[in-house]
Amino acid sequence: MTGLGVQSALCLLAAMWFKNLQLYRLPPLDLPLPQFEERLERLAFQPGDSLELQRVGWVPPAEHTGLVHSVNGQWLIALRAEKKLLPASVVNQVARARAQELEEKQGFKPGRKQMKELKEAVADELLPRAFSLWRDTHAWIDPVRGLIAIDAASVAKCDELMGLLNQTIDRLGARALHTEKSPVSAMTGWLAADEAPVNFTIDEDTELRSPSQTKATVRYVRHAIEPEEVRRHIGNGKQCTRLAMTWADRVSFVLTESLALKRLAPLDVLKEGADTGEGNAAERFDADFTLMTGEVSVLVEQLIEALGGEKQL
């Protein structure tokens, strides 16, 4: 393969990897793949009409797939959200112009209630001409391990996807994954002891925050963490809320206080070992998805173990 070809393959590998992991525990899913896809089709994405501000639905996670893409028993799905872009500043600007016209007509300034009605009327008038913004959120479902991982940085996007999934499958019963040790407690302990759990290393980014009302915060960004200095912060009551780590010299990530994994990225050892053969785009996609799910599944299992095991609610 040419240098350009190798570079393209590695870029595809990086693009295929989830950048974030928000983890949910899934009860036994007694639903074969064809039936699951049939349920998704009932809520497949359809572009909204001119008067809808927002709409969501399921879309194929890649160009060559159906609504569920299955590789080696691992499922990939995607939610699409369409939102009309109607800035409040535009609505306010038009509403002020209309208010001035109304003032000249009626001889006095519109009151609060009248202005509210005027803004609502302007928004309804402008909505059909607003631009649409589409955003896709991917989720990986491991029906064997009973796990859902959502590639989203915010809780709101996760709630959006899980809400639609609960509409798709009645009484799904998925819940956020919790561990016996809180991530804050465990990360603070690792830093205090200057020792990461087995198969993990601590990297140079971390955040220590006081739980008091002041929320005093110390951040290390691409900066070596001095154990004694960190212990002084911990001794003063600060706790670790974000910690950059590496797993098995293969995957780097940042663990947060909510058990979310952010900035997830494969390291060079994985990129170098990836199959960079001349397969077509669909074959490369499947190979990369297989690599990601295989590696990250083990990472998650070992991280849960390092946090004292899963908490049974």
Query: What is the model's pLDDT at position 90?
Result: 76
pLDDT at 304 over 90: yes
147: nearest Cα among 39, 286, 22, 285? 22
pLDDT at 5 over 50: no
- Burial class of 204 by CB neighbour count within 10 A (0 to 12, 13 to 18, 19+): exposed
Q: Regarding beta strands 69-71 and 22-25, do their DSSP bridges make them parallel or antiparallel, or are they unpaired?
A: unpaired
| Whole-structure pTM value | 0.81
Query: What is the arithmetic mean of pLDDT over 226-241?
Result: 92
Residue 99 near residue 116, CB atoms below 8 Å: no
Reported confidence tier of residue 2, pLDDT bands at 50, 70, 90? very low
122: nearest Cα among 158, 168, 156, 88? 88
* Chain segment 163-213, per-residue pLDDT in tens: 999 999 988 889 999 999 999 999 999 999 999 999 999 998 999 999 887
Both tokens of 113, joined, read 């209630």
